[in-house]
Structures are given as structure tokens and as C-alpha cells.
Amino acid sequence: MTTPAAHPDDRPARRSPVRTAALLYGVVFLLVGVAGFIPGVTTGYDTMQFAGHESEAMLLGIFQVSILHNIVHLLYGIAGLALARSVSGARNYLRWGGAAYLLLWLYGLLVGEESAANFVPLNSADDWLHLFLGVTMVALSFLDRDAHDRTAGRART
């Protein structure tokens, strides 16, 4: 018994690079959000506060976190997964999410670590990670669709 040869259009459509990037960022943010609630992965877990610079909990012993900080990561992850379903959604997630992280980087630089305004909370490691996330997310938002999709005249995926 032989099976009929697959038609070239029967191949599963490949996800565009911008959608893949948004999906990966979404997954990473979800993992980071969950990890922030795991004792051992987060040192000083018993000192974690809902918000504020008084929280001494440190994700991986480096990044200052709080319950609010972890929730924000979880929400960013959920948004990434949801918006990665379309090219325009993925592009907007990366562009505007990256812009938000760049603003958060500036905020972290301008607000003292011991200030009441440091409600997220943020430390220097968080600040530089936010710069990296902001720059890479905005840059990845400019990824073009897959060349195969363009030449085949397929709808954006």
C-alpha cells in the first residue's frame, strides 16, 4: 500500500521570524515569571514583598524581584504567546513591549534603588537586562516575513 505524494501546498506553513521571536520572548517571560516564585531559584524568597524596594528576593541571586515584578513577567509572557499568533500582533508586541522596557531601563537609572518610587523593584542588574530586552525586542520587531512566504504569495502567518 502506497500513500499519495504530498502536494507542495500541503506542507505545514512555517512561522514567520517575527512571530517566532515574539513566541520565544513570551515563553522566556513566562518561565522567568514562574521561576521568580520558586524558592532556591529565587534567593531570599522569604523576604519577598508584593512590591517595593524592601523586597530582598533575588531571581538567580542577581535580579531583585517582588510578587508584582513576577506577575508583570507572567503577563508579558501571556501577551507574547497571544500576540505571536499574527505577524502584526507579534510585531506590535516586540516593538511596544521593547519600548516599554527601554522606558523601564531609563526609569531604573533615574530612580534610586532605595527610593519609594522604586516600587517594582529594580536593581542595577535589572536595569541593564531591561536595556538588553528593550533593544533586542525593538530590533526583532523589524524582522521581515519569511522569504518563502513572500515568493509563494501566501498570506501573512
Is residue 152 a part of any domain in this protein?
Answer: no
* Count of helices and strands (H, E) across the chain: 5, 3
Is residue 33 a part of any domain in this protein?
Answer: yes
pLDDT of residue 11: 43
Of 38 and 148, the structure prediction assigns the larger pLDDT to 38
pLDDT score of 54 more than 60:
yes
Is residue 24 a part of any domain in this protein?
Answer: yes
| Dist CA 99 CA 138 (whole Å) | 7
| Dist CA 117 CA 119 (whole Å) | 5
- Stretch 121-125: mean pLDDT, rounded? 84
pLDDT score of 34 more than 80:
yes
pLDDT of residue 3: 55
Kindly give, in sequence order, each residue whose CB lies less than 8 Å from that of residue 58, ignoring residues fewer than 6 positions away.
42, 43, 44, 64, 65
Is residue 101 a part of any domain in this protein?
Answer: yes
Is residue 121 a part of any domain in this protein?
Answer: yes
Is residue 8 a part of any domain in this protein?
Answer: no
| Dist CA 45 CA 91 (whole Å) | 35
| Dist CA 99 CA 57 (whole Å) | 26
The residues pairing with 42 across neighbouring beta strands, listed in sequence order, are 39, 59
Tally of domains in the chain: 1
Of 128, 123, 121, give the one whose Cα is nearest residue 105.
Answer: 128
Burial 99-122 (b: 16+ CB within 10 A, else e): ebbbebbeebeebeeeeeebbbbb
Of 90-99, 120-129, 139-148, highest mean pLDDT: 90-99
* Domain coverage including residue 133: 16-146
Is residue 141 a part of any domain in this protein?
Answer: yes
* The model's pTM: 0.79
Q: What are the φ/ψ torsions at residue 39 (nearest 5 degrees)?
A: -60, 140
The 10s digit of each residue's pLDDT in 58-116 is 899 999 899 999 999 999 999 999 999 999 999 999 999 999 999 999 998 888 777 77
pLDDT score of 152 more than 80:
no
Query: Which residue has 515569571 as its cell numbers?
Result: 33
